[in-house]
Amino acid sequence: MKKIVLSGVKPTGHSHIGNYFGAIKPAIDFTANDENLCFYFIADYHALTTLKNKQEMIDFSYDIAITWLACGVDPQKVVFYRQSDIPEVFELYWILCNVTPKGLMNRAHAYKACVEKNEEAGLDRDAGVNMGLYNYPILMAADILLFNSDVVPVGLDQKQHVEIARDIATYFNNKYGKVFKLPDVEIQKETATLVGLDGRKMSKSYGNTIGLFTTAEQLQKSINKIVTDSRLPSEPKDTDCALFKLYKLFADKQQTAEFAEKLKAGLGWGEAKKQLFEVANKVISPMREKYFYYQNHKSEVDAILAEGAQRARTIARKTLDKVRKAIGV
């Protein structure tokens, strides 16, 4: 029996290097092990909680699919699909809604954050909260449980969702008999909180990201914006800084050690940023080439996703048959 690995990405914008190192690369690394069977999907229905524009949904969904392909997803080795092409996900979602306690959803981070924000502003605690946001963790549980996932690689901020999926699976199993596995979460400690241009967590909401597939010139400009201190070129630099943390993601161990010594010896920030650009661009360039190829050949992307959906549904129907039998439908 192969280990089932599942990961999805919402199409809510263009990818940045935080998405790559925090989610995409760790997920792709699982495909190097032939004992793993990987399911990677475009979480387009999840994006409806924030994305309300039809054309943006189309464009961003393609962009995320192309990003994964450009970064190294091999559709011959993984099951790669759009969430919206798998109706079994949404049937399972409704079934799971009926075993999930409301109190569990009240504790979900996204909902709690909205409530706290409303209370601070003196508004009704549920102002602006729709049921998509509130039930989001149940849909994610359906994504995970439908394919009997063993491992779910996620960023640190998504850890709770996997824990909720485990809870929901336990509620169902206790009520109807054991049908679902309890999935484990996989978090890359090195990139659990990737720093952005200003030293805070890299996030689109902070405006501190570095685009993954910008041009080389734009990449250089972004790197030049990394906030550094006022130490002179002759002064030793601290490696506990955003610039060094980003450098070691792209570089090998020897390059990283040499770069650290140069900083301690007084390497100027301008030269350090130039060296970061060189190692980053070397990694990104071949992926960038594939990215623009698929942008100009979207029919190939459609065919890949359609084939992946067909494979996914074959497995999904088997799980749903077990669920239906368990509940008496």
The pLDDT assigned to 299 comes to 97
Please tell me what DSSP assigns to residue 178.
Answer: S
In this structure, the strands spanning 36-42 and 3-9 are: parallel
Q: Give me the pLDDT at residue 189, please.
A: 65
Task: Give SS3 for 197.
Answer: coil
Q: How far apart are CA 197 and CA 200, in angstroms?
A: 7
Under 8 Å between Cβ of 39 and 78 = yes
Residue 27 C-alpha from the chain's centroid: 9
Distances (CA, A) of 70 to 154, 209, 216: 20, 19, 16
Helix segments in the chain, DSSP class H: 17-19, 25-29, 54-71, 87-97, 102-106, 109-120, 131-146, 159-176, 216-224, 242-250, 253-264, 269-295, 298-327
DSSP 107-162: T-HHHHHHHHHHHHTTS-TTTT--HHHHHHHHHHHHHHHHTT-SEEE--GGGHHHH
Q: What is the pLDDT along the chain (329 residues), one digit of tens a residue?
A: 789 999 998 998 888 998 898 888 888 888 988 899 999 999 999 999 999 999 999 999 999 999 999 999 999 999 999 999 999 999 999 999 999 999 999 999 999 999 999 999 999 999 999 999 999 999 999 999 999 999 998 877 789 999 999 999 999 999 999 999 999 998 866 555 688 998 888 888 888 999 999 999 999 999 999 999 888 888 899 888 889 999 999 999 999 999 999 999 999 999 999 999 999 999 999 999 999 999 999 999 999 999 999 999 999 999 999 999 999 99
Domains and CATH numbers, the chain: 3-194+298-327 (3.40.50.620), 213-291 (1.10.240.10)
Q: Does residue 51 sit in helix, strand or coil?
A: coil
Look up residue 80 and give its DSSP letter: E
In the block, tokens 């190192």 appear at: 21
Q: What are phi and psi of 69, to 5 degrees?
A: -65, -45
Two tokens, residue 194: 């990737």
Instruction: Please indicate, yes or no, whether the overall pTM of this predicted structure exceeds 0.75.
Output: yes
